[in-house]
């Protein structure tokens, strides 16, 4: 099966490298600048005392000329619309799209553009980032990949995809309720994002300043939206523990992007959650404040 991975950043690059190492037919859709860097250095995953490299198959949007069986969509929310336009010519009648994005708004866009039957749900967890050289730095061994039908249950194609994607370097599973899994991850990343962006530091720094009560209140707001949408978090204790752990170095991609002066996924992760809360007449003042903080950041960038 021919696999197209859209994006070769910290997430798509990691999973794509593992697939390429296992001999899968993998091509990366990247921008010309990223393509040039990868052709020169290769796609690298770096961890303490270890480095792995593959020379990937690459294609740019202007070079797309064939349909693919599987598309793994790993772009930031800010690049989703362009990615969808780029993908249109390569989506065939049996192509399966598995997005790696956070939140839920991307499902609405993909379903509208390609049809719900073409799109699976996906949840990936991996602790990676890009360094100044464009290499993927893996700072913890966690690497998991869940996929599933939006309507739930299992299917022949999810079993076939699992066999294709089950390679060394991460754990892949089929979720019988992938939409719930996506919502629950969303609650976690929105909570950590709101805490670290509003406090301007790590979870541990927020706790040291007396922020534990505040952090729990953030989790309560995020979980309330998920519950109102029909996807209650079975137990919020692990999320509360994550955002109230003394000495924790945990931050969020939202905070890291903000601190580095980059554009953030604030509207995808926080803004859309707040908007959905409004539909259920929920008050989310802390999440509102975090969204506003990131909007100010974007205005400052502009």
Task: Give the integer Cα–Cα distance in Å for 216 and 244.
Answer: 8
End-to-end CA distance of the chain: 43
Q: Is 185 an annotated catalytic residue?
A: yes
The Cα 153–Cα 159 span in angstroms is 11
- Active-site entry in 2, 116, 125, 185: 185
Cα angle 91, 96, 99; round to 5: 100
Q: Count other Cβ atoms within 10 Å, centred on residue 302.
A: 6
- Scored b (16 or more CB within 10 A) or e, 278-301 reads eeeeeebebbbebbebbeebeeee
CA count, 13 A, side-chain hemisphere, 14? 26
CA 128 to chain centre: 11
Two tokens, residue 296: 């100010």
Angle at 252 between CA 247 and CA 258, to 5 degrees: 115
Catalytic residue annotation: 185
């Amino acid at each position: 099966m021919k696999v197209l991975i859209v994006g070769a950043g910290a997430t798509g690059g990691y999973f794509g490298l593992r697939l390429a190492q296992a001999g899968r037919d993998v091509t990366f859709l990247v921008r010309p600048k990223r393509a040039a860097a990868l052709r020169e250095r290769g796609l690298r995953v770096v961890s303490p005392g270890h480095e792995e490299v593959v020379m990937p198959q690459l294609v740019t949007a202007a070079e797309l000329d064939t349909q693919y069986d599987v598309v793994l969509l790993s772009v930031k929310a800010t690049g989703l619309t362009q990615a969808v336009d780029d993908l249109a010519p390569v989506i065939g009648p049996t192509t399966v799209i598995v997005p790696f994005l956070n939140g839920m708004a991307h499902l609405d866009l993909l379903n509208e553009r390609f049809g719900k039957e073409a799109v699976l749900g996906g949840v990936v967890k991996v602790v990676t980032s890009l360094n100044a050289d464009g290499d993927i730095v893996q700072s913890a061994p966690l690497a998991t990949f869940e996929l599933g039908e939006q309507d739930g249950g299992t299917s022949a194609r999810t079993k076939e995809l699992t066999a294709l994607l089950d390679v060394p370097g991460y754990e892949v599973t089929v979720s019988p309720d992938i939409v719930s899994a996506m919502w629950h991850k969303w609650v976690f990343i929105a909570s950590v994002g709101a805490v670290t962006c509003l406090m301007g530091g790590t979870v541990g720094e927020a706790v040291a300043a007396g922020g534990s009560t505040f952090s729990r209140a953030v989790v309560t707001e995020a979980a309330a939206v998920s519950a109102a949408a029909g996807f209650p978090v079975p137990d919020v204790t692990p999320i509360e523990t994550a955002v109230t752990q003394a000495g924790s170095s945990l931050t969020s991609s939202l905070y890291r992007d903000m601190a580095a002066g980059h554009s953030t996924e604030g509207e995808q992760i926080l803004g859309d959650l707040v908007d959905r809360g409004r539909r259920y007449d929920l008050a989310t003042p802390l999440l509102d404040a975090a969204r506003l903080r990131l909007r100010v950041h974007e205005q400052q960038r502009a």
